[in-house]
Amino acid sequence: MKLNIKCAISDHEFGIIILYTVKSENYGIYTMAYEDVLFKSGMRQLASGVSLVASVDRGGRRYGLIATSVTSVCVSPPMLLVCVNKSASCYDAIKNSGAFCINFLGQSDSDIASQFGSPKYRDLRFGTGNWMAGKTGAPVLASALASFDCSVRQEMDMVSHSVFIGDVLEIHVKSEIEMPLIYHNGSYASINA
Ligand X SMILES: Cc1cc2nc3c(=O)[nH]c(=O)nc-3n(C[C@H](O)[C@H](O)[C@H](O)COP(=O)(O)O)c2cc1C
CB 182, min distance to ligand X, A? 10
Binding site for ligand X (CB under 6 A): 50, 65-69, 83-85, 88-90, 117-119, 122, 183
The residue among 12 and 23 lying less far from ligand X, judged by its C-beta, is: 23
- Kindly provide the b/e burial profile for residues 80-116, where b requires at least 16 CB atoms within 10 angstroms of the residue's own CB: bbbbbeeebebbebbbebbbbbbbbbbbebeebbebb
The residue among 6 and 86 lying less far from ligand X, judged by its C-beta, is: 86
CB 114, min distance to ligand X, A? 8
The residue among 17 and 37 lying less far from ligand X, judged by its C-beta, is: 37
Which secondary-structure segment (H or E) carries 34? helix 34-43
The residue among 7 and 186 lying less far from ligand X, judged by its C-beta, is: 186
The residue among 17 and 57 lying less far from ligand X, judged by its C-beta, is: 57
Residues 85, 146, 26, 9, Cα dihedral to 10°: 60
CB 136, min distance to ligand X, A? 19
CB 163, min distance to ligand X, A? 10
Which secondary-structure segment (H or E) carries 97? helix 89-97
Q: Are 78 and 168 within 8 A, CB to CB?
A: yes
CB 95, min distance to ligand X, A? 13
Residue 27, helix vs strand vs coil: coil
